[in-house]
Amino acid sequence: MKHQLSDIQGLILSGYGDRPAAAYALFEIVDAVAARGWLKQTIDELQFGEYRGTKRSVAPHLKALCKNLAFTHAGLARLGLPTLTLNGFSLPFQEGMCEPSRARRLGDDRESAPETWEWGNAKQRLHGVLSVFAGDVGDSAELTADNYKRITTYIKSALNEEFGFRLVKQLDATPSDPVYRREHFGFRDGIANPQFKSLPRAVDDDPIAEGEFVLGYANCYQKLPMSPQVPDGPGAAEALDAGENPGRRDFGKNGSYLVFRQLRQDVPEFWRFVERAAKHVPDAPDGARGREWLAAKLVGRWPNGTALSVYPDSPGPIAQEDEDDFLYGTAQDSFGTRCPIGSHIRRTNPRDTALPVPHDPELSGDPADEDTRNDRLKLTNRHRVLRRGRAYGPIVSHDCDPEVLRTTEIEQERGLYFLCFNANIERQFEFVQSNWALNPAFAGLSADPDPLLAASRTFPYTASDFTIQGCPTRRIHGLPRVVETRGGAYFFMPSRRALGYLASL
């Protein structure tokens, strides 16, 4: 993959932490001919992955404005991809996130139901998303405001009728801050992202097969993921690699599926619940510490990001990336006595937790045994995603004071633009969401959904408990819904050459 970086769109390879300002422009293609013309002019302006081949200080650097482009299935059809290519994409991408059974399985019911979404619902025509990133680390507030203006100006200049587009919605992210790095509940975010095996990485942690995230490479089963093909022919098709079948070219190679969800967070409700519930847990420390302790149990990390498995009693020093290189087995936490089995981080990335029965070593192997741990890790690593999301909406407390978070009600919506990349939407994103986050019977539990993402969903049955393993085991009830889906779609982010092919159609 190292030699293909310039063919892969940059957002797949990093979250552009160096570009604090970000916006996502959702668009419809109203005139395919004009849109293809625009695409042809624009490909070279987009940010590709060359910069990931070198250290940050060495050229090539990121462009001042990093732009990336992805399309929905309807968008690719609108641009004129042939049916055989359109059929070669994965079924969830073809059906869309708002397909009723899929939505049910993702927990998008009641207030999260697709019919209520601000974007991505079945009635709306949504063909793609243009993501734009700008600015530099350490920008002043003024500079940041200017950067958002630049972004908006660019989006307006590009996604307009002249070029065959209609801007459906522009989503502005909260400017990111390399020091703050918190999501709205007040927890450090963006930890424990898998790393590409063959790319230089800050720490030698968590490498995953490239084919899990980018089409055209071997996945965790040492197989090439299914990739859409186009008929061979003169012109832009020739630039693509040969396809699996004779007479075909590989359209999907170096592209990836982008899952995009707008998740609204009810911050005061989360902290109100934690405050109330902590009073009923006999082991919780008194007062404010009890609140922090219970919130950490629900999340699996202390607000500063340090893992409960490593620092069970109080937060550790501010997390360095390499401190996250732990297994539950080696941290003496196979049974959830430090980081509860049902906590958010554990169930969205169970590492070496024995599934589906962690509490029965006779059945699932001895966690003290390294081979056993590695075998389990291998299995859970078949369900990883590359997260690239950013928060949106105002930050009410820069020091994340739970008291301020609990009591400050604001008009403006806040939440997370959850973005992630994967090569197999069903086995990766949807699996994590349905089988781990939403599943009340995850890892031998009975009525415990993910306390952040999944409380009181009707799929697969309504549940709202949370269990804190230990002796005695404690349980709390009545987890409220604190995250609601407000929009979402599956996109495909094609390679540079595939974009060239689209432009030539």
Partner 1 sequence: MRQETLTVVARVKDAEAVARALADVTADCPDGPCKPSLFGAPELGIHFARFVLLHEDPDASPLLVFESNFDTSHVECALAQSAHLALLVERVGARLFEIFQHCQDFSERARFVDDLTSQLQPASAAYQGHTERDLGRIRLEQHLREVLLTYLESAPKQAMTALYAKLHEHVRRLTFVEPRLAGLDLTRPAPPQPSSAVRSQRLTEGYGPWLANALPVLPVLRHFLGILSWPFSDPEYDQRGKQEAWTDVDRQRFRDLSANEDHGMQNALTHVVPLKLGRARLFVLRHAHAYIDRMAKRHFDDIGQLGGIPTIHFAKWLLLEDGKRLLFFSNYDSSWESYLGDFVDQAAIGLNLAWTSTDAYPRTFFLMAGGAKDEERFKAWSRAHQRPTQVFYAAYPELSIAALNNNSWIRDGLHHPPPAGELSAWFRRLT
Enumerate residues 180-239 that contact partner 1 by CB under 8 A.
221, 223, 225-226, 229
Q: What is the largest CA-CA distance in the chain?
A: 73
27 with 159: CB under 8 angstroms? yes
Which sign does the torsion angle of CA 301, 307, 312, 317 carry? negative
Of 171 and 425, the one with the shorter C-beta distance to partner 1 is: 425
- Binding partner 1 by CB under 8 A: which of 61, 110, 279, 280? 280
Alpha-carbon distances, residue 344 vs 105, 109, 260, 431 (angstroms): 18, 20, 19, 15
Please, which of residues 316-335 interact with partner 1 by CB under 8 A?
335
Q: Which two tokens stand for residue 129?
A: 């998303």
Decide if residue 100 touches partner 1 (CB under 8 A): yes
413-432 residues near partner 1, rule: CB under 8 A: 424, 426-427, 430-431
- Stated as kind and residue range, the H or E segment containing 134 is strand 128-134
Of 188, 300, 257, 189, the residue nearest 430 (C-alpha):
257
Q: How far apart are CA 463 and CA 460, in angstroms?
A: 9
Shortest Cβ 449–partner 1 spacing (Å): 12
Quick check: 434 binds partner 1 (CB under 8 A)?
A: yes
The 68-97 contact track toward partner 1, x by CB under 8 A, reads ----------------x--xx--x--xx--
Binder among 40, 42, 43, 105 for partner 1 (CB under 8 A)? 105
Helix-then-strand count for the chain, H and E: 15, 15
| Minimum CB–partner distance for residue 396 and partner 1 (Å) | 33
Nearer to partner 1, 186 or 300 (CB): 300
**Residue with Cβ nearer partner 1 (14 or 433):** 433
| Separation of alpha carbons 256 and 491, rounded Å | 9
Decide: is 469 part of the binding site for partner 1 (CB under 8 A): yes
Residue 323 or 450: the one with the smaller Cβ distance to partner 1 is 450
Give yes or no for residue 104 binding partner 1 (CB under 8 A).
yes
Cα–Cα nearest to 70, from 388, 425, 491: 491
Residue 283 makes contact with partner 1 by CB under 8 A: yes
Pick from 38, 69, 68, 39: nearest CA to 51 = 68
- How many residues are given for the chain? 505
Instruction: Give the C-alpha separation, 328 to 342, whole Å.
Output: 13
Q: List residues near partner 1 by CB under 8 A.
A: 84, 87-88, 91, 94-95, 99-102, 104-105, 221, 223, 225-226, 229, 244-245, 280, 282-283, 335-336, 341, 356-357, 359-363, 379, 382, 424, 426-427, 430-431, 434-435, 439-441, 443-447, 459-461, 463, 467, 469, 471-475
